[in-house]
């Protein structure tokens, strides 16, 4: 996708985000080959579901990649990870709030003036699918919002990326009318994301693609993915001061192995300076 704004002629860098729905599972489906062929500078993962020492040998410390994995206390649940072609200047493996950090949902990495917040936002369904986790989910949204607002006000260029577990507008899911009482499209969840956008955070994908039919998650039941009956719940949000460096944004629905598709952005490399 061509750029609408550019600071120079340098080749853009690619930053990717992907909910892999279990890194050990997707490792058996060619993840390492995909990673090495991705052309990305940074790859952020959600729902890793493993501690660093539990990963396959070729994913613990792969050549040419700096690896950072944050696991929760509950085995095989949640977790985030990051593979970086360049070492971050600083890596923070927690939000600083125990009730969220026990689930391993956030990591923060700084590369020069660029800060990346990789987050796996909770699903509000609850074990009984009664939306019992919605209050926890909303509290998590607010905690991350407060964090990134502080970084933004400090002059950092901030990317907040990951599985937000909410489709913010009707255009962002195939069947909005049927899902108004489903976690992921509840009005209180959508309002929380709308608050981010109203505060100036930029939905990078919508900067380049205003149309419908673009999704990042599909139910594993039936033929939802084949029929493109999906939801766009994975985002890369940028702080306003990063917007001039944005060259492109995309979803890669052709990449299989998870119920989510990778998403990403292209940035002018001057974003680090």
Q: Name the 3-class secondary structure at 198.
A: helix
Closest Cα partner for 202 from 163, 232, 173, 245?
A: 245
The residues near 86 (Cβ < 8 Å, ≥ 6 apart) are 41, 42, 66, 111
Nearest 5°: phi and psi at 14? -110, 135
Alpha-carbon distance 102 to 231, whole Å?
Answer: 28
Spacing of C-alpha 16 from chain mean position: 8
Which pLDDT score is estimated for 3? 36
Q: What is the dihedral of CA 248, 39, 233, 271, to 10 degrees?
A: -50
- Which CATH fold would you assign to the domain 13-272? Deoxyribonuclease I; Chain A (3.60.10)
What is the value of pTM for the model shown? 0.95
Q: pLDDT under 50 in the chain at which residues?
A: 1-6
Q: Which residues are catalytically annotated?
A: 163
Whether the CB-CB separation of 269 and 248 falls below 8 Å is answered with: no
Position 8 scores a pLDDT of: 62
What pLDDT does residue 271 have?
97
| CB crowding 63-78: b at 16 or more within 10 Å, else e | eebbebbbbbeeeeeb
Q: How far is CA 243 from the centre of its chain?
A: 18
Helix (H) or strand (E) holding 144: helix 134-153
Burial class (CB in 10 A: 0-12, 13-18, 19+), 223: exposed
pLDDT of 6 reads 46
pLDDT at 2: 33
120-164 residue pLDDT tens? 999 999 888 889 999 999 999 999 999 999 999 999 999 999 999
Picking from 83, 80, 69, 68, the residue whose alpha carbon sits closest to that of residue 34 is 83
């Amino acid at each position: 996708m061509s750029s609408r704004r550019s600071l120079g002629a340098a080749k853009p860098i690619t930053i990717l985000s992907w909910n892999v729905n279990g890194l050990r599972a997707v490792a058996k489906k060619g993840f390492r080959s995909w990673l090495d062929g991705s052309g990305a500078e940074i790859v952020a993962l959600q729902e890793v579901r493993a501690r660093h020492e539990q990963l396959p040998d070729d994913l613990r410390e792969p050549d040419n990649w700096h690896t950072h994995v944050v696991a929760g206390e509950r085995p095989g649940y949640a977790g985030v990870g990051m593979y970086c072609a360049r070492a971050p200047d600083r890596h923070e493996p927690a939000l600083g709030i125990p009730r969220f950090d026990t689930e391993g949902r956030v990591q923060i990495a700084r590369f020069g003036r660029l800060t990346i917040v990789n987050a796996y936002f909770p699903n509000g369904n609850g074990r009984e699918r009664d939306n019992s986790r919605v209050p926890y989910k909303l509290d998590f949204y607010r905690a991350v919002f407060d964090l990134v607002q502080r970084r933004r006000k400090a002059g950092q260029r901030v990317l907040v990326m990951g599985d937000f577990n909410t489709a913010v507008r009707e255009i962002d899911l195939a069947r909005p009318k049927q899902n108004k009482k489903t976690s992921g499209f509840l009005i209180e969840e959508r309002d929380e994301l709308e608050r981010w956008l109203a505060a100036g955070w930029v939905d990078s994908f919508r900067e380049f693609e205003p149309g419908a039919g673009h999704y990042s998650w599909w139910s594993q039941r039936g033929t939802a993915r084949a029929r493109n009956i999906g939801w766009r719940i994975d985002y890369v949000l940028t702080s306003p001061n990063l917007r001039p460096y944005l060259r492109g944004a995309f979803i890669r629905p052709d990449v299989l192995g998870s119920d989510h598709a990778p998403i990403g952005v292209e940035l002018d490399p001057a974003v680090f300076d």
